[in-house]
Amino acid sequence: MISMPLQPVPEVDEILSTAEAVALPMRTRFRGQTVREAVIFQGPAGWAEFAPFSEYGPDESAQWLASGIQAAFQGLGAPLRTAVPVNATIPAVSPSRVEAVLARYGEAVPAVKIKVAEPGQSRQDDVDRVAEVRRLLPRAALRVDANGGWSIPEAVAALGDITQAAGGLEYAEQPVAGVEPLARLREQLATAGLEVPIAADEAVRKAEDPLRVAQLGAANLIVVKAPPLGGVDRALDLVRQAGLPAVVSSALDTSVGLTAGLALAARLPQLPFACGLGTVTLFDGELVDEPLVPVSGTLDVPTQSGQICAPAPVPELMQRHRITGPRRRWWFDRVRAAHQVLAS
Task: Please give the positions annotated as active site.
Answer: 115, 225
Output the smallest distance, CB 284 to Mg ion, in A. 23
Which of 126, 201 has the CB closer to Mg ion? Answer: 201
In eight-state DSSP terms, residue 321 is H
Q: How many Å from the N-terminal Cα to the C-terminal Cα in the chain?
A: 18
CA distance 263 to 116: 29
Residue nearer to Mg ion on the CB measure, 37 or 173: 173
Considering the complex, what minimum distance in angstroms separates the CB of residue 113 from Mg ion?
A: 8
| 49 vs 201 by CB, closer to Mg ion | 201
User: Which segments within 201-333 are labelled E, that is strand?
Assistant: 221-224, 246-248, 298-300, 303-304, 307-308
Q: Which residues pair with 145 in a beta bridge?
A: 115, 173
Alpha-carbon distance of 80 to 268, in angstroms, equals 8
DSSP structure string for 209-227: HHHHHHHHT--SEEEE-TG
Min separation Cβ 124 and Mg ion, Å: 22
* CA neighbor of 250 nearest in space, from 289, 284, 282, 214: 282
- Using CA of residue 19, residue 21, residue 26, residue 31, what is the dihedral sign? positive
Positions that interact with Mg ion (CB under 5 A)? 145, 173, 201
Which residue of the chain is nearest Mg ion when measured via CB?
Answer: 201
State the nearest-atom distance from the C-beta of 174 to Mg ion, in Å.
Answer: 6
Question: Which amino acid makes up residue 199?
Answer: A
Q: Is the distance from CB of 1 to CB of 55 less than 8 angstroms?
A: no
Rank residues 31 and 327 by Cβ distance to Mg ion and give the closer one: 31
Q: Select 247 or 323, whichever has its Cβ closest to Mg ion.
A: 247
Q: How far is the CB of 144 from Mg ion (least distance, A)?
A: 10
